[in-house]
Chains A and B, each alone.
Chain A
Amino acid sequence: EIVMTQSPATLSVSPGERATLSCRASESISINLGWYQQKPGQAPSLLIYGASTRASGVPVRFSGNGSGTEFALTISSLQSEDFAIYYCHQYNKWPRTFGQGTKVEIK
């Protein structure tokens, strides 16, 4: 199966600052990658698919890029509601797999 590795495990950021989260695939997955946000006690919610396409209603401060094996999610100016765990997800092959998550916490 394709292993997704996210870094860092935890990112401490001040409100208003920029945050960049990384995700690496164990083999090339083209742009078949999504990003999900999960807040405590809630189900994940879709942010990005196709590596860079924002889902409906997702603020423009969220952007994704990358292809092949290296991907990034950038939050341009962190708002209080953005402190959460973020997961990358590959859908290039079955079984679908997720990264282990990056927790974005308040600095």
Chain B
Amino acid sequence: QVQLQQWGAGLLKPSETLSLTCGVNGGSFSGYYWSWIRQPPGKGLEWIGEINHSGSTNYNPSLKSRVTVSVDTSKNQFSLKVKSVTAADTAVYYCARVTTVTLNYYYFYYMDVWGLGTTVTVSS
């Protein structure tokens, strides 16, 4: 059964770079997209971006200028970097596997495996 293990620094100062990594254990890395989602304290979910095994990415335009998602297929890992962080970037960051299926002219896309989340706090 696939599990996602995520890690990275939890406390940052303003203007620093957030860096998180998500490791994929027990399953295939190719054939999926791998996504990052965040959740500010007490608030809802925000999609950050995604990448597939060949490095094709999609980003949320609201964050695109500061965000980079990368992949290391040799380690079955993918990473998130957010530069120039502010207090507004304080959130729980989740990594997730994205499964896509095309069936009978319909396209299905869903995040079916999630990491446990990493709390990132930005404070001076």
A45 interface residue (CB < 8 Å to B): yes
Given the interface pairs A43-B117, A95-B62, A98-B47, the reply to whether A50 lies near B106 with Cβ below 8 Å is yes
B8-16, B81-89, B107-115: which lies at the A interface? B107-115
The smallest C-beta distance from A71 to any residue of chain B, in angstroms, reads: 15
Residues of A within 8 A of B114 (CB): 43-45
CA of A101 to CA of B116, assembled, Å: 19
For this complex, into which size category does the number of interface residues on chain B fall?
A: 20 to 34
- From 24 to 62 in chain A, residues with beta carbon under 8 angstroms from any chain B beta carbon are 31-32, 34, 36, 43-46, 49-50, 53, 55
**With the chains together, A49 CA to B115 CA distance in Å?**
19
Q: Is A64 an interface residue (CB 8 A)?
A: no
Bound form: Cα–Cα A55–B108 in Å: 11
Within 8 A of A (CB), among B70-124: 94, 96, 106-112, 114-117
Q: Which residue of B lies closest to A100 (CB)?
A: B44
Across the interface, do A32 and B107 meet the contact criterion of CB distance under 8 Å? Answer: yes
Contact of B116 among A34, A43, A89 (CB under 8 A): A43
The answer to whether B45 has its CB under 8 Å from any CB of chain A is yes
The CA of A76 and the CA of B85, in the complex, are separated in Å by 43
Q: Complex formed: what's the CA distance from A50 to B103 in Å?
A: 11
Which B residues lie within 8 Å of A18 (CB)?
A: none
Partner of A44, one of B45, B46, B61, B108: B45
Using a CB–CB cutoff of 8 Å, the interface residues on chain A facing chain B are 1, 31-32, 34, 36, 43-46, 49-50, 53, 55, 87, 89, 91, 94-101
Q: Enumerate 11 A-B pairs (CB-CB under 8 Å) in ascending A order.
A: A34-B111, A36-B45, A43-B96, A43-B117, A49-B108, A49-B109, A50-B108, A55-B110, A89-B45, A96-B109, A98-B46
